[in-house]
Amino acid sequence: MNVLICGYIGFENAGDEAILDRMVRYSRANLIVMSKEPHRTRDLHGVPAVNRYSPCSVASAMKKSDLLILGGGTLLQSISSRRSLFYYTAVAMLATLMRLPFVIYGGVEDSGILTRYVCGHARALVLRDRHSYDICRALAPSALCIISPDPALLSSKSSRTLTSKRDFIVCTPKKGEDAACKYALLFAKKTDKKILFLAMHPEDNGICREYARMSKSVFVKNTDFDIIEDVIKRAYALVSSRLHGIIFAYSAGIPFAALTNGNDKIYYFIEDCKRENALEIYNRNQGRKNGGIIICRASKRGASSLVGDITSSYNLIFGADGFHGR
């Protein structure tokens, strides 16, 4: 089966690139990817890619495909920009016109008319948290909705040998969110550890560089997702306001301090892990709307308790017993 993937690919966001990596390595389909930087995507993931902003290239890829996967992360949202919602709605409309079935895969944060259209025309909705599931059930009551944890929880590539000692704390803040950096500095002072400020997205380079300079710490510029993942998995602990920084630490059993600060994606991930008894919370000073800090790590069940659900959803999407495309 030929599957076309449309997500936030080619923007150097470590989380979205990690999701694509898992799709490539764990699916049994022939994948084509819509990317902002097709050449880089081909080099990094070893799959064919087309320019997501070229209507002719996208239409040609759709003609060759049996199924479109729309997602990976939270695409149907208007928090960062309404342009994202307009773009992915347009892709869904084009797929519908070309009679190409599509699956929504990831998170949903918007409940407006455009999202209602997309959810109503999707063959299935494979959602990474209970909140997204509730939104989609309300928008499209008759649609097939499935909860499947974030695919980045699946095992990654073999780690590079970066260090044998867990003697540093990694901080992965979002642009404009100083609270993660300030808490990391306090945590490092208390534990007598070094800090490494790590940018998971190009827009985070500025804040990481600034705090590294102020504290005379190490700054790691945004780079390939697998390097970022390896660094986090070899840390003593993580302080983060980035969802996939937290997921990388969680899957490796690394303690982490999650700064929600109104970031619903982080809040819902933690709540879903608690629901599955897959999380140990050491300290919680948090209200979702007001923001706060949750200090925790994976329980003994850990990520392994969630992987089965991801594998089942992959079999449904890509496997012989799943969606058969056109």
Q: According to the model, what pLDDT value does residue 265 have?
A: 87
Determine, yes or no, domain membership for 321.
no
Q: According to the model, what pLDDT value does residue 289 have?
A: 47
Determine, yes or no, domain membership for 268.
yes
pLDDT in tens, the chain (326 residues): 999 999 999 999 999 999 999 999 988 899 999 999 999 999 999 999 999 999 999 999 999 999 999 988 788 886 666 788 899 999 999 999 999 999 999 988 877 899 999 999 999 999 999 999 999 999 999 999 999 989 999 887 654 544 556 889 999 999 988 999 999 999 999 999 999 999 999 999 999 999 999 999 999 999 899 999 999 999 999 999 999 999 999 998 999 999 987 668 898 899 888 888 888 888 777 555 455 788 898 887 666 767 767 777 777 777 645 555 66
Instruction: Specify whether the CB–CB gap between 29 and 45 falls below 8 A.
Output: no
The Cα–Cα gap between 58 and 68 comes to 11
Q: According to the model, what pLDDT value does residue 109 have?
A: 84
Instruction: Specify whether the CB–CB gap between 274 and 256 falls below 8 A.
Output: no
Q: Quick one: 128 and 264 in the same domain? A: no
Amino acid residing at 146: I
Q: Quick one: 183 and 89 in the same domain? A: no
Domain count, the chain: 2
Specify the pTM: 0.91
Instruction: Specify whether the CB–CB gap between 245 and 225 falls below 8 A.
Output: no
**147 CB-contact burial (10 Å; exposed 0-12 / middle 13-18 / buried 19+):** middle
- Tokens 């495909």 map to which residue? 65
* CATH code of residue 285: 3.40.50.150
Q: In this structure, what token pair is assigned to residue 172? A: 């992965």
Q: At residue 88, what are phi and psi to the nearest 5 degrees?
A: -70, -30
Please tell me the total number of residues recorded for the chain in this structure. Answer: 326
Q: According to the model, what pLDDT value does residue 27 have?
A: 87
Give 224-236 as a DSSP string.
Answer: -HHHHHHHHHTSS
Q: Quick one: 112 and 32 in the same domain? A: yes
Determine, yes or no, domain membership for 243.
yes
Segments forming the whole domain that contains residue 41: 2-147
Instruction: Specify whether the CB–CB gap between 27 and 42 falls below 8 A.
Output: no
Determine, yes or no, domain membership for 267.
yes
Determine, yes or no, domain membership for 37.
yes
The Cα–Cα gap between 73 and 287 comes to 24
Q: According to the model, what pLDDT value does residue 139 have?
A: 92
Break the chain down into helix, strand, coil percent, rounded to 5. 45, 25, 35
Q: Quick one: 202 and 259 in the same domain? A: yes
Instruction: Specify whether the CB–CB gap between 233 and 253 falls below 8 A.
Output: no
Element (H, E) at 178: helix 178-191
